[in-house]
Structure 1
Amino acid sequence: MSPDLPPEPVFHDWPLPYEERLAARPRGQVDLVVIHCTELPDLAKAREFGERVLYDSGTGNSGHYYIDRDGSIHVFVKPDRIAHHTRSYNERSVGIELVNRGRYPDWLDSRRQAMEEPYTDEQVAALVGLLAWLRHEIPSLEFIAGHEDLDVSQVPASDNLHQQVFRKRDPGPRFPWSKVLDAVPLERIRP
């Protein structure tokens, strides 16, 4: 293997039942990676949420890659399909979900907006490896963003309809942006 080629990560293929119903796209259309956290207790719960059919097309919401706390990478949707993970950015992006509790189970409760679970060293190492590999596999890839950078909408808090909270806060304040950006040459965007 050439020293310029990043090693291919170990992937655990676990395609969603509706993956083939998601629109196909050329990889050259992808220029952005969006980092998420599942805001769920574990990978099994994330899978359950990903399998839920929410649209007339017979598809639901899901990222492409899920990285568990042990660093294992699970492929729910291949990057040549458009997954539903970030409003208005799906056609051009790959979604990577890191298993993390986030604000679970009170996502919109104004008293529980802290995101305290740290990301594991294994998750961060797996993410850096995946991003390096994706940069090689998808030459058009040049940008990275957190879900919270792209979806800044606010909604009424579940405990107080007169107070607004952010709909999305992931990957959140515990995400090691500097470590990831130092390791992989992607430009962080915040529209």
Structure 2
Amino acid sequence: MTPDLPPEPVLHDWPLPYEHRLESRPLAQVDLVVIHCTELPDLDTARQYGEREIYDSGTGNSGHYYIDRDGSIHVFVKPDRVAHHTRSYNERSVGIELVNRGRYPDWLDSRRQTMDEPYTDAQVASLLALLGKLERELPALEFIAGHEDLDLAQVPASDNLHQMVFRKRDPGPRFPWSKVLDAVKLERIRP
């Protein structure tokens, strides 16, 4: 008896205008998936942030895949390109962003560090299908992490410069890690 495979996900190509300027890489280099949440109100706002060119190379910060609350999956950057989504891990990883308010709009306010919005069932189902696809297509894929596992930097709070807050807290406490880890063969890393 073969285990039930997640359904093949439907991917909507929506390449960022600067995707072709991102460094190319062999897929065999990718051994890590990093789970994020957008910490923005909706997919359109996440797109606007992703399109911002903030580096001299004419590129910006973005994940590879964005999963909206309805479960739709949008490809901003193909996995054979290095996207800027996690400091020090971009060259070896694929970034998956789940649309979720997170701490928006007070990301660094010490009084607003709670992340209350749950992830939708449709988002989780699409994430599992996408992870299954990536496991089949990326030969070296072995690890998974949350952004908060890899970026432990603290910065002064926006409301009190004498208090430190974590720069990144995503995907946050509402992310269903046990369900995801039960469904994949990937090992969660927390350096």
Q: TM-score range by the shorter chain?
A: over 0.9
Query: 1:6-30 CA distances to partner (integer Å, 9 max, x unpaired)?
Result: 5431011000000000000000000
CA distance, structure 1, for counterparts of residue 5 and residue 76 of structure 2 = 24
1:146 positional shift? 0.2
1:84 aligned to 2:106? no
2:57 aligns to what SS in structure 1?
coil
Q: Which amino acid aligns with 1:144?
A: I
How well do the aligned residues superpose, as a CA RMSD in angstroms? 1.3
Which residue does 1:30 correspond to in 2?
Answer: 30
Which residue does 1:41 correspond to in 2?
Answer: 41
1:135 aligned to 2:135? yes
Q: CA 1:104 to 1:175, structure 2 compared with 1: closer, same or farther past 3 Å? A: same
1:41 positional shift? 0.1
Residue correspondence of structure 1 range 11-26 to structure 2 within 5 A:
11-26=11-26
Which residue does 1:151 correspond to in 2?
Answer: 151
1:5 positional shift? 6.8
2:87 aligns to what SS in structure 1?
coil
2:111 aligns to what SS in structure 1?
helix
Q: CA 1:111 to 1:19, structure 2 compared with 1: closer, same or farther past 3 Å? A: same
Q: Is the 8 A contact 1:5 1:136 kept in 2?
A: no
Query: 1:20-48 CA distances to partner (integer Å, 9 max, x unpaired)?
Result: 00000000000000000000000000000
Structure 2 stretches of 5 or more lacking a match? Answer: none
Which residue does 2:107 correspond to in 1?
Answer: 107
CA distance, structure 2, for counterparts of residue 4 and residue 27 of structure 1 = 26
Which residue does 2:50 correspond to in 1?
Answer: 50
CA distance, structure 1, for counterparts of residue 109 and residue 130 of structure 2 = 33
Structure 1 runs (4+) deviating above 6 angstroms are: 2-5
1:4 positional shift? 8.1
2:95 aligns to what SS in structure 1?
strand
* Superposition TM-score, scaled by structure 2 size: 0.97
Query: 1:43-68 CA distances to partner (integer Å, 9 max, x unpaired)?
Result: 00000000000000000000000000
CA distance, structure 2, for counterparts of residue 6 and residue 116 of structure 1 = 28
Q: Which amino acid aligns with 1:49?
A: Y
Q: Is the 8 A contact 2:6 2:128 kept in 1?
A: no
Q: Is the 8 A contact 1:69 1:122 kept in 2?
A: yes
1:112 aligns to what SS in structure 2?
coil
CA distance, structure 2, for counterparts of residue 173 and residue 67 of structure 1 = 18
Residue correspondence of structure 1 range 172-183 to structure 2 within 5 A:
172-183=172-183
CA distance, structure 2, for counterparts of residue 163 and residue 97 of structure 1 = 28
Q: Is the 8 A contact 1:87 1:151 kept in 2?
A: yes
Q: Is the 8 A contact 1:67 1:99 kept in 2?
A: yes
* Superposition TM-score, scaled by structure 1 size: 0.97
Which residue does 1:165 correspond to in 2?
Answer: 165
CA distance, structure 1, for counterparts of residue 141 and residue 49 of structure 2 = 27
